[in-house]
Structure 1
Amino acid sequence: VSARVPVLLPLVGVPPASMPSDAKPAGTPTATEDGRIAGTAWLDFTRGGGGKPNVTDPRELGLKGIAIEAVRDGKVVASVRAGADGTFTLPAAADGAVLRLPADNFREPYNGVSWLGPSLVTPAIIGSYVWMWAGFAMVLIAAGLASVPRELLEAARVDGASEWQVFRRITVPLLAPVLVVVLVTLMINVLKIFDLVYIIAPGSAQDDANVLALQLYQSSFGPAADLGIGSAIAVLLLLLVIPVMVVNIRRIRGEVRR
């Protein structure tokens, strides 16, 4: 954009009935002399037909409140929200930058139950995950506790050890192989979790509960697919899982030697 040329941002796809009640007819921007960027963002659609494309017709309304950002070298140098008639003015720092409409402008507002909203959707998914895998972990830990020799526990108590010392010095070391299995399994599952986030989080709150596996899916198969980013996320997931796999393989080899 340049201060010498007014910026026109005609948009479509917004139902006229959904426009704000206090939206005003789109204003016509004029070039400024102080280096600032002037422009208009409006609904380029005339109900009943007529009008010209990319021109602010009298019956077309401004997009009140839409956010506009000026980006240079990947950084936002200025931002503004359009007025009731869709007009906006960016400071002189935006001269020569590229204008961008942030994705939040087109994000569906959340109108459902509060525990699936942006502020609570992540704890809700964490609770679901814990509930789903708690049984698995408890079964393995209970089996490990059943195999702990009771003679060692009684001997420690006879020698004057407290219950905390018995737990820390005897129970946990003897239960360590089982705890490692549970920890490694849950870590791998956490790294590749996808289904819970995709199913539980509504579309308007998915970005607030996003995880690597979901971003991998969206980047590879979503409406704005970028296979390069999807491949990079897949490689990153592999690199994150490899250390866990190495620990698990060493544990298995150690058990085989015993």
Structure 2
Amino acid sequence: MQLSNDRFLRVSGVVKTYGDYIALRAVSLDVGKGSSVALIGPSGSGKSTLLRCINALEEISDGTIEVGDFEVGYRRAGHHRRRLGASALAAQREHVGMVFQSFNLFPHMTALDNVMSGPLLVRRESVDTARKKGMQLLERVGLGSKASSFPRQLSGGQQQRVAIARALAMDPQIMLFDEPTSALDPETVQEVLNVIRDVRDSGMTMLIATHEMEFARHVSDTTVFMETGQIVEQGESSKVLFSPETGRCKRFLAGLTGQPA
């Protein structure tokens, strides 16, 4: 599946409902190749739901999501579109890496086995190829010496770095980070942020839902402020984070910094 360079991610009028609850309200967002976007906003604003929809973990209720040359979750035939089956969805997800709040590592596997799992089971790479790639990625995230450790033997920050290496092992074209530091002790937050910054510097297209405003300032080109399932404000990070235009975004940022809105 060839991904285009001119329009990498396009979210158009996306609605997501759970019964009577509207989680996303006609959300539209364009992301260029190699860009880094920070999603900020209060809990329940729709940040995580949006990421899960982009990765086809949630089926959207209306609208479209396109990554490169394919429409996420669907196949079009003329004016009709059909929801993809499980195997086709899995094939799409190879291009869309995702890192969760709670790491989601396989507890019975070592760090290396976790990183190797996707290439082995999904891509059917050889054990030698998957092991070589896995060790390179663990070295990249600073955990080469922990290859044989199980998740229970690792700190939260180390587990999250393994999770990032596992996502990168599938050679994704875009990375989604869902509050990657929210479950970590303050001492381990920086080590994870450093790894994410390294991924950004490699040219990866990224969306990061985060409450770490200082990190958002340094790692994102664009910041999107969401509330009640809507995009309230978006623009260059330097502008949104330092001089937001909407009163609601001003109050949100002031609440985090303790400064007057």
State the TM-score, normalized to the length of structure 1.
0.23
Greater RCO, CA 8 A, separation 6+: 2
Q: Which has the higher strand share?
A: 2
Asked which structure has the greater CA Rg, the reply is: 1
Q: Which has the higher helix share?
A: 1
State the TM-score, normalized to the length of structure 2.
0.23
